[in-house]
Structure 1
Amino acid sequence: MSESKTARQLRAERSREALLDAAAAAFVETGVQAPVRDIAKRAGVGVGTVYRHFPTRADLVTAVYRHQVEECVALAEKLIADDVPPTDALCRWTSAFTDFLVTKHGLSDALSSDDPSLNNLHALIFDSLVPAFASLVERAQESGEVSKDVSPVTFLRAIGNLCIVGPGYTEADAKAMVGLLLAGSGATSAPAP
Structure 2
Amino acid sequence: MAGSQTKQQARKTTDARPLRADARRNRDRLVEVAAAAFAQSGVDTSLEAIARQAGVGIGTLYRHFPVREALIEAVYRHEVEALVAAAEELARTKAPDEALAEWMQRFVGYIATKRGMRDSLRLLLESKSPLFAETSGLVPRTFTGLMENAVKAGKIRADADSADVLHALSSIYSASDGPDWQQRSRRLVSLIMDGLRYNAPESGGQR
Given the two structures, how large is their TM-score scaled by the length of structure 1?
A: 0.65
Structure 1 alignment gaps of length 5 or more: 1-7
For 1:159-174, what aligned pairs fall within 5 Å after superposition? Answer: 159-163=169-173, 164=175, 166-167=177-178, 170-174=181-185
For 1:89-168, what aligned pairs fall within 5 Å after superposition? Answer: 89-102=99-112, 104=113, 106-107=115-116, 109=118, 113=122, 115-116=124-125, 117=127, 120-121=131-132, 123-124=134-135, 126-127=137-138, 129-144=139-154, 145-152=156-163, 154-163=164-173, 164=175, 166-167=177-178
Structure 2 alignment gaps of length 5 or more: 1-18
**Match 1:54 to one of 65, 70, 75:** 65
Q: Which string of whole-angstrom CA distances, capped at 9 and with x for unpartnered residues, describes residues 5-40 of structure 1? A: xxx967755653454344234314311343546545
- C-alpha distance 12-92 of structure 1, shift in aligned 2 (>3 A): closer
- C-alpha distance 11-166 of structure 1, shift in aligned 2 (>3 A): same
- Cα distance in 2 for partners of 1:12, 1:81 equals 31
Moved more, 111-120 or 18-27: 111-120
- Cα distance in 1 for partners of 2:117, 2:192 equals 17
Amino acid at match of 1:171: Q
Q: Which string of whole-angstrom CA distances, capped at 9 and with x for unpartnered residues, describes residues 72-96 of structure 1? A: 32222233334x4332221122122
- C-alpha distance 14-78 of structure 1, shift in aligned 2 (>3 A): closer
Aligned length: 176
- Hey, what does 1:27 align to over in structure 2? 38
- Cα distance in 2 for partners of 1:147, 1:108 equals 35
**TM-aligned CA deviation for residue 51 of structure 1:** 5.2
**Match 2:77 to one of 61, 66, 82:** 66
Given the two structures, how large is their TM-score scaled by the length of structure 2?
A: 0.61
- C-alpha distance 92-133 of structure 1, shift in aligned 2 (>3 A): same
- Cα distance in 2 for partners of 1:156, 1:56 equals 33
Is 1:45 equivalent to 2:58 in the alignment?
A: yes
**TM-aligned CA deviation for residue 122 of structure 1:** 6.3
* SS of alignment partner, residue 140 of structure 1: helix
* SS of alignment partner, residue 63 of structure 1: helix
Q: Percent identity?
A: 30
Q: Which string of whole-angstrom CA distances, capped at 9 and with x for unpartnered residues, describes residues 114-153 of structure 1? A: 85156515642523x322211111122334523435134x
Moved more, 93-102 or 37-46: 37-46
**TM-aligned CA deviation for residue 173 of structure 1:** 0.8
- Hey, what does 2:95 align to over in structure 1? 85
